[in-house]
Amino acid sequence: MRYLALDLGARRIGIAISDPTGLLARSLEVMQRTSRAADFEHIGELIHQYQVAALVVGLPLNMNGSEGSQAAWVRNYSAELQATVELPLHLWDERLTTEEAADILRAQGKRPREHKNWIDAVAASVILQSFLDGNKLAVY
């Protein structure tokens, strides 16, 4: 079962994909946002291309676990996306994923500031790997 993960932002969407077994996540791309219709069309193309069975979307929670206006926007966007692509969609806590993505880039000898666009895709892979690790029993 293959998953596609999204790290939603106002200007960009980081995208990650799992391997066909649903065990490992990898960064796929960063998409520049233009409109929801264009976003959904491109995401639909990726779903078809990679034969995705479910989506995982990072939910931006506050450090105390509460939801703010950004989480409400993600919930609204995700509901509209799910209705468009008609796949299961899982919201997953994305707290500190950008910081973890920056650490991953630094470990690879890259400067996060020089790769600020790619950091969104790395953050999406962190979200997806966390989801996969947290749901191993459901994957088998």
* Model confidence, pTM: 0.85
Domain of residue 134 covers 3-139
SS3 1: coil
pLDDT in tens, the chain (140 residues): 999 999 999 899 999 999 999 999 999 999 999 999 999 999 999 999 999 999 999 999 888 888 888 899 999 999 999 999 999 999 998 877 777 776 776 776 766 666 567 778 888 999 999 999 987 544 33
Distance separating alpha carbons of residues 48 and 85, to the nearest angstrom:
10
Task: Give the separation between CA 46 and CA 28, rounded to whole angstroms.
Answer: 10
* Domain tally, the chain: 1
Residue for token pair 């996969």: 132
Q: Tell me if 13 sits within 8 A of 74, measured CB to CB.
A: no
Q: What ranges make up the beta strands (E) of the chain?
A: 3-8, 12-18, 25-32, 54-59, 89-93
What's the CATH code of the domain at 134? 3.30.420.140
- Residue 65 near residue 71, CB atoms below 8 Å: no
